[in-house]
């Protein structure tokens, strides 16, 4: 199955795709574009957005069975597939001088 995805590693957040095809693209909390719908991904607007992207960040993932397969593997912390359980817990109240014995 074909999926539409935005490679967030390549996206510069210019907004061309969001303006061209708001049915399929929107800005995420990170300020970069993301795909918001996998319905009717062969429309002219998707193709225009894809060809208009200055960094070629928009692509189809051929053969992707699920979102994980369609992932571009950008390795960003904000990634939709990032596993928060893998993060180290950061204690914002930690004071190194208090822990020194």
CA–CA separation, 12 and 6 (whole Å): 11
Interface positions with ligand SF4 (CB under 6 A): 6, 11-17, 33, 53-55, 57-58
9 contacts 55 by C-beta, under 8 angstroms: no
CB of 79 to ligand SF4, least distance (A): 15
17 contacts 25 by C-beta, under 8 angstroms: yes
Please identify, using beta-carbon distances, which residue of 1 and 19 lies nearer to ligand SF4.
19
Please identify, using beta-carbon distances, which residue of 73 and 96 lies nearer to ligand SF4.
73
CB of 31 to ligand SF4, least distance (A): 9
């Amino acid at each position: 199955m074909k999926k539409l995805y935005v490679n967030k590693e390549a996206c510069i957040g210019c907004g061309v795709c969001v303006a061209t095809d708001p049915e399929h693209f929107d800005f995420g909390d990170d300020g970069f574009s993301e795909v918001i719908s996998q319905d009717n991904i062969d429309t002219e607007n998707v193709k225009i957005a894809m060809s208009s992207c200055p960094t070629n960040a928009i692509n189809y993932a051929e053969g992707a069975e699920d979102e994980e397969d369609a992932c571009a593997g950008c390795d960003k912390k904000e990634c939709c597939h990032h596993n928060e359980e893998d993060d180290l817990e950061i204690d914002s109240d930690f004071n190194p001088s208090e822990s020194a014995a």
